[in-house]
Structure 1
């Protein structure tokens, strides 16, 4: 069950008015197309493990309880291709010796990691599991790619899971997970992997950066998240109108609106931080939860469903009754944002 929660974005906000002039976009255009106003970028020298560490430190401080005995890091932007980043994260947290590993399912990774964490607890392998989700996308967007650059941001979130009873608030009531590898090229970074090293001719420089087939992804994302949410509602024995909050992966505003419409869920029940953080990949759901918890928009006992779609292709959903958590700090920097065009 969920015991504590945190979120973190690096202290480098990029407002729509600060986007590169060469992209030829303005604030109104970006908002109407994506719903994003601000995104945060990691600073010079910052890696995924640095963002993950800050989110993890915050959730451990909030819990004030027994230390976790397993660490899962959901990420598609690890510090290195080898080794995994989770052991380094665990060591920085003073948890040398505990099992620690990365999990890569792109934007669905947080939900996958929740399911794996619950499995470790159910199997008796761990009594408390630290689940961290962190991505740094800003360094993987090509400088000329405005379509990805306007929406993608960096961030991290973390939760602490512990053993509990199924009827307790915070218990994970059910999951729906799926994948379709025939769509691997719809959301991808083609370079820097074993496939490229096995090719006779090198890939172009552009193929070493993030690419996404926008319209096809939109269609697949809306369908997958809608169907996955419906299956999860069925497993939890809930009706859509009984759902207090839907917390989707913060892809873009049009996807979120289409999913809510197909489910018949009023938009005011959809928790979103898209305007403030952009699409932070795997971190978007825990960041949205941390934002809502810090603002007291989640109440104990409320029905909550998380849902996501990402590269792979992957998708997943999870249901829970919201628990009575320790106070959750805001994931945002204390300094106010002052948007100006440089």
Structure 2
């Protein structure tokens, strides 16, 4: 069973109060004026100050519920779908539930994490639970604070990221209706596991480890290595995805890619045969928000009426692992 009769009935977002321009990043990195914009294409991004991930997620969730025209009482589960954690225990979803003032509700709350593909994986997995009747309406929340873990000595990666939160209300749709998930797939190639990582914070290099250094707790990325692997693996992955779904890239009204970097996205999209009119890209405003990148673009596409009910959309990206993921949905 690949096709699932589910639909998005509401989305909401939250961006932190602090807007950081490319010029400010230039100054922080100690590079010449214009370097950040030329290198990343990101004009501005938002950094969390005193906001916590659960506070951001709760605000995005409230906006999504309002857009969906439902209340918290209609929600059967909360799924945290983030690449970063507010704290190791408990999961983000439980903290978001409490932040929403619903800590006594008993609504099951759990996380699904595969870094940048967390939202795509969560939507895929939870849709089966909705199709099976376990849940009827689910709240998916992605809340990312990347800024706290950036290594400012690694200019190329530090200049890319921003913080933000997005929530999506996913519910059952009518069998035979226009909305549903057509097909989804994910592949992981562990040979690329160390191309993107935070080594510290787990059981190998924990806070009391004598071997741990400050760098171990900061984000490290080999952007060139990731691009080379993605360029090699993504075309055959996409070909298999389309073939198994019985569709083609030309039938996609919109392609929503993970915003790894503006330059990398456009190069790979051209290689995949994605037309400029099909591409949803607002990376200049927000940057790479880890797992929030794809649902943020999805939210903007809905808000800007780039898609309407029945339009076919492809969510596509990569994540640490190295993993590739794609989900085709009829909005």
Same fold per superposition (TM over 0.5): yes
Q: Does 1:86 align with 2:93?
A: yes
Q: CA deviation at 1:127?
A: 0.8
CA–CA separation in structure 2 for the residues paired with 1:139 and 1:57? 25
Aligned counterpart, 2:144: 135
Deviations 1:232-282 (A, max 9, x none): 322332222222111000111222112211221212311012100100000
Residue of structure 2 in register with 1:6 after alignment: 12
CA distance in 1, matches of 2:33, 2:182: 41
Partner of 2:299: 290
Deviation of 1:299 after TM superposition, in Å, equals 2.6
Once the two structures are TM-superposed, the CA of residue 70 in structure 1 deviates from its matched residue by 0.7
Unaligned runs of 5+ in 2: 1-5
TM-score of the superposed pair, with normalisation by structure 2: 0.91
Counterpart-to-counterpart distance in 2, 1:31 and 1:223: 27
Distance 1:227 1:48, change over 3 A: farther
Q: Find the counterpart in structure 2 of residue 72 from structure 1.
A: 79
Scaled by the length of structure 1, the TM-score of the pair is 0.88
Deviation by residue 1:14-47 (Cα, 9 ceiling, x = unmatched): 1101115252335633233222111110112x22
The residue number in structure 2 matching 1:16 is 22
Separation of aligned partners in 2, 1:321 and 1:129: 18
Further displaced range: 226-235 or 55-64: 226-235
SS of 2:45 mapped into structure 1: strand
Name the counterpart of 2:202: 193
RMSD of aligned alpha carbons: 2.0
Shift of residue 230, structure 1, vs aligned partner: 2.9
Q: Is the 8 A contact 1:306 1:317 kept in 2?
A: yes
Unaligned runs of 5+ in 1: 323-342
For the Cα contact (< 8 Å) 1:17–1:26, is it kept in 2?
no
What does 1:258-337 align with in structure 2 at a 5 Å threshold? 258-322=267-331
- Superposition pairs of residues 1-342 of structure 1, within 5 angstroms: 1=6, 2-19=8-25, 21-26=27-32, 28-44=34-50, 46-65=51-70, 67-93=74-100, 94=102, 96-165=105-174, 167-197=176-206, 201-322=210-331
Aligned-partner Cα distance in 2 for 1:62–1:68:
14
